[in-house]
Amino acid sequence: MIPTRIELENFLSFGTPAVVFTFTDDEPLWVLCGRNGVGKSAVFDGITYALYGEHRAGTQKAEQLIRHGANGFRVVLEFEFAGSAYRITRARAGRTTQKVERLRDGEWEAVPGVNTAAEVKAWVERTRRRPRPGPGPRRCSSRPSNSRSSSPTSRMGRSVRAAGSGSIRPTPRPSGPGLRRK
């Protein structure tokens, strides 16, 4: 599974409007960095919750994941697996709902028979174990240190830094005389 996008709204430290992280193929490495309490771990909690319906501390009541003062939350995870794009949406507003969709011909279609929390979790576990076609696991490629690029982020990936109350934004990797690769 290769995460391509996650959207978090009123989930743990993230509020409204929803915060979206898009992980693109043009960057081989992504880093989340920022001050304590701004939501770095919440991004991984969102991925875990979307896939398994559980928080990092194990199964918890979904209302514990709602941002203080909000009435519900929504987590949307898009990922690639075995050449197909999938989207899992889990939301809590009174009751928890979930759905799994597959991208076909540019349209999201529901995966049949996957409607309950237990069915989503079982589908994820079955899908994870399914063998992938092709040469094997996708690996990050490293570029030679003498690579000429107009952007320092294209050499080492993109850093994502927290900036204020729960907002995290992509920022270029710092560069300068003391930060050159050897």
Higher pLDDT residue, 74 or 132?
Answer: 74
Which domain does 51 fall in, by range? 2-172
What was the pLDDT predicted at 141?
39
Tell whether the model's pLDDT for residue 110 goes beyond 70: yes
- The answer as to whether 182 is a domain residue is no
Cα 58 to Cα 27, 38, 47, 54, 62, distances in angstroms: 31, 21, 14, 6, 11
- The answer as to whether 179 is a domain residue is no
Q: What is the CATH number of the domain that holds 159?
A: 3.40.50.300
- The answer as to whether 63 is a domain residue is yes
Evaluate whether 91 touches 74 at the Cβ level (below 8 Å): yes
- The number of folded domains in the chain is 1
Name the pLDDT band for 79 (thresholds 50, 70, 90): very high
- 147-168 pLDDT per residue, tens: 333 333 333 334 443 333 344 4
What was the pLDDT predicted at 60?
61
Q: Compute the C-alpha angle 123/129/132, nearest 5°.
A: 110
121-133 as b/e, with b when 16 or more CB fall inside 10 Å? bebbeebeeeeee
- The answer as to whether 180 is a domain residue is no
Q: Where are the beta strands (DSSP E) in the chain?
A: 2-9, 19-22, 30-33, 73-81, 84-93, 95-104, 107-110, 158-162, 168-171
Q: Is the pTM of this model over 0.75?
A: no
Contacts of 91 (CB under 8 A, 6+ apart): 72, 73, 74, 75, 97, 98
Cα 51 to Cα 12, 88, 141, 180, distances in angstroms: 17, 7, 27, 38
How many Cβ atoms sit within 10 Å of the Cβ of residue 61? Answer: 10
- The answer as to whether 178 is a domain residue is no
Average confidence (pLDDT) over 123-140: 65
Evaluate whether 91 touches 97 at the Cβ level (below 8 Å): yes
